[in-house]
């Protein structure tokens, strides 16, 4: 995950913003506690969203406290204390990090591959620890990685095929948030579509670079066939991707409305109905949008 799922700040109330920040800080600390200081740098908004949804689905749990941290050594800030939700989300973050690392390893050229091999050790170690705590993640990740590598090798890979593997990973992760069979179904669909949305946004974000370098990008495959004769093939591809992202978002919203949410509804609404469209707009107009920074 890449930090695309974030709230639209101007429309958040101050107390909502503080809550969101508290969860974000709590997750950062949880990562540090369980997976070492390096892992805190990989924190992204997406997992803050997952943590918030996890808390929202569960009726109880989660306590806020004012604490200091390395980034803000002087001022105490509200921060979510250690809880099961955070622990699970931190493990998911490490599992996805490992997945991304594996994916990069396969996709990049020789020198980058050497670089990834060298930096991979901590990622692998964190992953081992995460799946030890939550064995279900190992199953999810192994099938996802195998599937992804298989599809990228397939000729005539469609956009839907390419998005399948990582969307499914999120579907299975989101499913874990509840024990209720019906809610599992809803969260599965929501997770799948959110994963698909992230995948498409990321593909759109990378489009310009990949167009030049020729790296794997599902939109590029579409562009070669459908937009080859167009006057502005890149523009046409962008429009097409936007349509796809919109459809995915629409379906995601339908699933979202069926999730039984016990708290933080207004913040989650903000992320879903204002945050995501605003990120889409940014990606469409400015291109690269990869901020993974910890400052809010």
Nearer to another protein, 10 or 109 (CB): 10
Residue 68: which H helix or E strand, with range?
Answer: strand 64-69
Q: Hey, CA dihedral for 178, 246, 250, 156, is it positive or negative?
A: negative
Name residue 80's beta-bridge partners: 64
Name residue 199's beta-bridge partners: none
CB of 55 to another protein, least distance (A): 20
The closest of 89, 121, 125, 126 to 105, measured between CA atoms, is 121
Nearer to another protein, 105 or 258 (CB): 258
CB of 159 to another protein, least distance (A): 5
Nearer to another protein, 101 or 256 (CB): 256
Nearer to another protein, 1 or 93 (CB): 1
Dump the DSSP string for 119-145: HHHHHHHHHHHHHHH-HHHHHHHHHHH
Nearer to another protein, 158 or 292 (CB): 158
Residue with tokens 């879903």: 272
Q: Compute the distance between CA of residue 188 and CA of residue 170 in angstroms, rounded to an integer.
A: 8
CB of 33 to another protein, least distance (A): 35
Nearer to another protein, 15 or 266 (CB): 266
CB of 13 to another protein, least distance (A): 10
CB of 29 within 8 A of CB of 71? no
**Chain residues in the site for another protein (CB under 8 A):** 11, 158-161, 164, 167, 182, 185-186, 189, 192-193, 196, 243-244, 246-251, 253-255, 257-258, 266, 269-270, 273-274, 277
CB of 168 to another protein, least distance (A): 9
Residue 171: which H helix or E strand, with range?
Answer: helix 159-175
What's the count of helices (H) and strands (E) in the chain, helices before strands?
Answer: 12, 2
CB of 279 to another protein, least distance (A): 14
Residue 73: which H helix or E strand, with range?
Answer: strand 72-80
CB of 196 to another protein, least distance (A): 6
Residue 223: which H helix or E strand, with range?
Answer: helix 218-226
Nearer to another protein, 7 or 26 (CB): 7
């Amino acid at each position: 995950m890449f930090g695309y799922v974030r709230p639209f700040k101007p429309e958040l109330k101050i107390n909502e913003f503080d809550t969101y920040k508290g969860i974000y800080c709590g997750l950062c600390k949880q990562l540090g506690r369980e997976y070492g200081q390096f892992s805190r740098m990989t924190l992204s908004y997406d997992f803050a969203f997952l943590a918030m949804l996890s808390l929202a689905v569960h009726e109880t749990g989660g306590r806020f406290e004012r604490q200091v941290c390395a980034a803000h050594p002087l001022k105490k800030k509200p921060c979510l204390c250690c809880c099961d939700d955070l622990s699970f989300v931190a493990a998911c973050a490490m599992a996805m990090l490992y997945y991304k690392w594996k994916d990069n390893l396969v996709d990049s050229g020789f020198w980058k591959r050497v670089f990834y091999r060298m930096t991979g050790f901590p990622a692998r170690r964190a992953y081992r620890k995460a799946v030890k705590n939550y064995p279900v993640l190992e199953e999810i990740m192994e099938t996802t990685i195998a599937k992804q590598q298989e599809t990228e090798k397939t000729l005539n890979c469609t956009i839907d095929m390419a998005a399948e593997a990582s969307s499914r990973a999120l579907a299975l992760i989101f499913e874990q948030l509840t024990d209720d069979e019906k809610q599992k179904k809803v969260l599965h669909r929501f997770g799948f579509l959110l994963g698909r949305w992230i995948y498409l946004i990321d593909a759109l974000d990378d489009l310009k670079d990949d167009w030049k370098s020729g790296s794997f990008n599902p939109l590029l495959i579409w562009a070669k066939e459908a937009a080859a004769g167009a006057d502005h093939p890149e523009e046409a591809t962008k429009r097409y991707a936007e349509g796809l992202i919109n459809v995915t978002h629409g379906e995601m919203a339908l699933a979202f409305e069926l999730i039984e949410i016990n708290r933080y509804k207004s913040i989650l609404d903000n992320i879903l109905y204002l945050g995501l469209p605003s990120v889409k707009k940014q990606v469409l107009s400015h291109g690269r949008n990869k901020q993974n920074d910890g400052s809010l």
